[in-house]
Structure 1
Amino acid sequence: MDDIEAIKQLKARYFRTLDTKDWDGLRQVFADDVVMDSTGSGGSAVTGGDTFTAYISARLADILTVHHGHTPEITITSPTTATGIWALEDLVRYPDGRQLNGSGHYHDTYEKTDGAWRIKVSKLTRLRMDIAEPVAR
């Protein structure tokens, strides 16, 4: 498999394991010193694969999420590094019935260690966030 395809599969695995709450699988997509930065969309910046996995698993425990990544722009910058930009659309449904529909981009860097690509830095930026309040019954 070529490097670009391997990076596409890595990001697909990120989306799937995040949405299915497969926290052990999610941890495997990250470099040990990953930086996950969602400050551009009202979130936090968290450093470290274990730290981020613990953070996100607690934050999303009771929240339904559906993430779609599209139109990747991947550039191999060396035999062991790459960058990528992914268009994002997501749905986040909170236990109280509120729902966020968002779109934006992930700006990633990747590193290849021991023959496997991992996410090194991921920065989420938003173009739009629509929040719907729960429907009264």
Structure 2
Amino acid sequence: MTETDKIVATLAIYALKARYFRSMDNKDWPALEAVFAPDLIADFRDAAGERDESMLIHGAAPYVARLAPMLEKVTTVHHGHMPEIHIETDTQASGIWAMEDKLWVQEGSPLPFRWMHGYGHYHERYVRLADGWRISEIRLSRLRIDAG
């Protein structure tokens, strides 16, 4: 790949991650599923403070199907910052994003808190499919969670 190709790929991955955050916060589940490769590995086992083995999910559709009801009665705001993207080949890349999220939970939600403010990093792998770049692996590590 040329340096120009790497820049173009990096910008495409930036846009992909922006769609991830926007789709999540707008609860646009079909659009969220579309940012992932169909064989996604989603590892959120350490995302809520205590390790939860059930939050290692294989497949974009099962991941979104699990996430959507959890966030049905939750207003979310996600921000991604300072991406470190490494283009490995013309079809493979990896990245780390600093992140911050805020959640406001409505009555009737299955979540065990009323609000949360989290900080951490997304660790991701990307694959370029026929229709563009997709997230093939996503893992969230937390530095801190404030909740009440």
For structure 2, list consecutive stretches of 5 or more residues without a partner in the other structure.
1-6, 108-112
CA distance in 2, matches of 1:66, 1:18: 8
| Mean CA deviation greater in 5-14 or 49-58 | 49-58
The alignment partner of 2:144 has SS state of: strand
Q: Please state which structure has a larger fraction of its residues in strand.
A: 1
Find the counterpart in structure 1 of residue 145 from structure 2: 129
The answer to whether the aligner puts 1:19 opposite 2:61 as a matched pair is no
77, 101, 107: which one pairs with 2:117?
Answer: 101
Structure 1 stretches of 4+ with a deviation exceeding 4 A read: none
Partner of residue 3, structure 2? none
Q: Deviations over 1:25-62 (max 9, x none)?
A: 11110000001111122351111011111111111111
Q: CA deviation at 1:115?
A: 4.4
Percent of aligned positions that are identical? 42
Return the alpha-carbon distance in structure 2 between the equivalents of residues 19 and 115 of structure 1: 24
CA distance in 2, matches of 1:115, 1:108: 19
Q: CA RMSD in A?
A: 1.3
Match of 1:8 in 2: 14
Q: Hey, what does 1:38 align to over in structure 2?
A: 44
Number of aligned pairs?
Answer: 132
